[in-house]
Amino acid sequence: MNRNPEKDPSDWTTGDEPMTGPQESYLNTLAQEAGEEVPQGLTKVEASQLIDRLQEETGRGK
C-alpha cells in the first residue's frame, strides 16, 4: 500500500495559492540549469508542473 499516493495537481485544494518558498527556490535552481526564467506569480500547481518539465529537461527527475 502506498502511504503517499501522488495526487494530480489539478485536484489540489490549495493549488491556486501562490507557490511555496521551497518550490520557488528549487524552480530557480532548475531554471538556471535549463537557461530559462521563472515566471512571476505562479500558483502551486503551475510551479509543480514547471518543476516536472524542468526536471525532465535537466535530467534531475531521474
pLDDT of residue 60: 85
pLDDT of residue 6: 65
Mean pLDDT of the chain: 85
**Backbone angles phi and psi of 43, in degrees to 5:** -85, 170
Task: Give the 3-state DSSP-derived string for the chain, with helices as H, strands as E and coil as C.
Answer: CCCCCCCCHHHCCCCCCECCHHHHHHHHHHHHHHCCCCCCCCEHHHHHHHHHHHHHHHCCCC
pLDDT of residue 48: 92
Look at the pTM and tell me if it is higher than 0.85: no
- What are the pLDDT digits (tens) for 42-62? 999 999 999 999 999 999 876
